[in-house]
Amino acid sequence: MRIEEYKDMIYACGRCEICRGFDFNDRCPEIFTQHWESSTARGRMAIARAILEGKLEYSEDLAERIFGCFMCGRCREECKKAAQIDVIEITKAMRQDFVDHGIKIPEAGTNMADTVTSSGNIFADTPEVHTKWSEGLEFKKDSGTLFYPGCLASHRFKEKTNILVRLLQKAGYDLNFLGDEQTCCGTPYWITGKMKNAKEYAKTFLKKLQARGVKEIITPCPSCFRAFDEEYPRLLGIDKFPIRVRHTSEVLEEIVVKKKLKFKPINKKVSYHDPCEIGRYRDIYDPPRHVLAAIPGVEFIEMSRNREQAFCCGGGGGCKIMYPDHSQTVSDERIRDFVKTDAELMTTICPACEMNLTHGMYEADLDIRVLDLAELMAVSAGIVDPEILEPDYFPED
């Protein structure tokens, strides 16, 4: 069993409650939706311990507890003050154990991974749809810098992704693009426990990138960023991914620091949602705030739960697909955090967060735009019309 590798950590859990919080509502999105002790990190450690001791077996009944985790990392962050247990890696190991034992996992998770295998992306779209966002853009085939949007930015945010590339190019970045050869990064495999597929996929993908002479990847998606930068080296058994990988938060900050663009005022009150996979997973908290501070006129208002304490958007761990109702419940709660700020615009820098928070705004019947920070920067740099900030604006996606 994979969880045997984490035996010491599992036994280190002292059931201290720090991970789940004391009123159950402000930390873990899984317990926020399921209300079971077994839905918390400490509950999961107890389950793992019972499995290791042969007192419990992996079963379909357990699936909702293990696959219902948003992998938001809040418990891991809190556990740094307690036993420093890597709950995320243990959750991934448990999901792999389900698959390795042939136990049924949520059907939508299996379908998502199978769709990547059969079509190369999570939406089963054709390459023509996959590349539609790039219409009207020119890429440099000999550039070693690859712009890699990932599935969500390619398929659900065509206009935003087009704007982002225009922004980067105006700032002087020469970008290449995989075109018809672009596929998913492979994240659906490891969040659904399909590690054998993941290893093969990572090997093939790295070969493809090296054959194209890619020296650097820039991506707006925190999952893709972590896929190449963290998961691939683990899967391939290497210390470091041989290609430099940067999330756009770092690149937008570079544009500000190196004064690559001039900015005009945007007189709006703006809040910002920290995506779990660049925030808690990678400590990227300051670059997005530096970008907001660099745009004149912006009045930045933090939500009460921010940075390490940010509440998940509801999109993590595959829950958006496997447990859409839970996902909606969590995004509704995050929108309540936003409403308390009295801000006029919600920003983030992750396509999955942007999609979930947008759904949350619709659900709450709020006429408020959720934007990527790159869009705000593009407006301020005069690359795109300020109408995209207006509440009644609908992107052509």
Between 74 and 199, whose beta carbon lies closer to ligand SF4? 74
Question: What's the DSSP call for residue 148?
Answer: -
Phi, psi torsion values for 299, nearest 5 degrees? -100, 105
CB of 14 to ligand SF4, least distance (A): 5
Q: Is residue 238 packed enough to be buried (19+ CB in 10 Å), middle (13-18) or exposed (0-12)? A: exposed
Q: Is residue 29 involved in binding ligand SF4 (CB under 6 A)?
A: yes
Site for ligand SF4 in 117-146 (CB under 6 A): none
Between 27 and 160, whose beta carbon lies closer to ligand SF4? 27
**How many residues in the shown chain lie near ligand SF4 by CB under 6 A?**
28
Tell me if residue 145 falls in helix, strand or coil.
Answer: strand
CA distances to 138, 154, 156, 216 from 397, rounded to whole Å, are: 20, 10, 6, 28
Q: Are 135 and 164 in contact (CB under 8 A)?
A: no
CA distances to 14, 96, 351, 381 from 169, rounded to whole Å, are: 52, 41, 20, 12
- Alpha-carbon distance of 66 to 356, in angstroms, equals 21
Per-residue DSSP letters for 224-257? Answer: HHHIIIIIHHHHHT-SS-SSEEEEHHHHHHHHHH
Q: Using a CB cutoff of 8 Å and minimum separation of 24, what contacts does 200-203 make? A: 201/116, 202/231, 202/232, 202/235, 202/236, 203/235, 203/236
- Alpha-carbon distance of 38 to 64, in angstroms, equals 10
CB of 174 to ligand SF4, least distance (A): 38
Site stretch for ligand SF4 (CB under 6 A), options 7-15, 212-220, 281-289, 357-365: 7-15
Q: Is residue 45 involved in binding ligand SF4 (CB under 6 A)?
A: yes
Candidate residues 83, 198, 235, 388; the one interacting with ligand SF4 per rule CB under 6 A: 83
Candidate residues 28, 295, 303, 350; the one interacting with ligand SF4 per rule CB under 6 A: 28
Q: Is residue 16 involved in binding ligand SF4 (CB under 6 A)?
A: yes
Candidate residues 48, 63, 87, 185; the one interacting with ligand SF4 per rule CB under 6 A: 87
Q: Is residue 42 involved in binding ligand SF4 (CB under 6 A)?
A: yes
| CB within 8 Å of 87: residues ≥ 6 apart | 19, 41, 44, 45, 73, 75, 76, 79
Between 13 and 146, whose beta carbon lies closer to ligand SF4? 13
Q: Is residue 323 involved in binding ligand SF4 (CB under 6 A)?
A: no
CB of 82 to ligand SF4, least distance (A): 4
Site stretch for ligand SF4 (CB under 6 A), options 28-36, 224-232, 285-293, 296-304: 28-36
Binding track over 62-81 against ligand SF4, x by CB under 6 A = -------xxxxxxx--xx--
Site stretch for ligand SF4 (CB under 6 A), options 83-91, 248-256, 334-342, 347-355: 83-91
Between 43 and 287, whose beta carbon lies closer to ligand SF4? 43
CB of 333 to ligand SF4, least distance (A): 12
Q: Write out the residues near ligand SF4 by the rule CB under 6 A.
A: 13-19, 27-30, 40-42, 45, 69-75, 78-79, 82-83, 85, 87
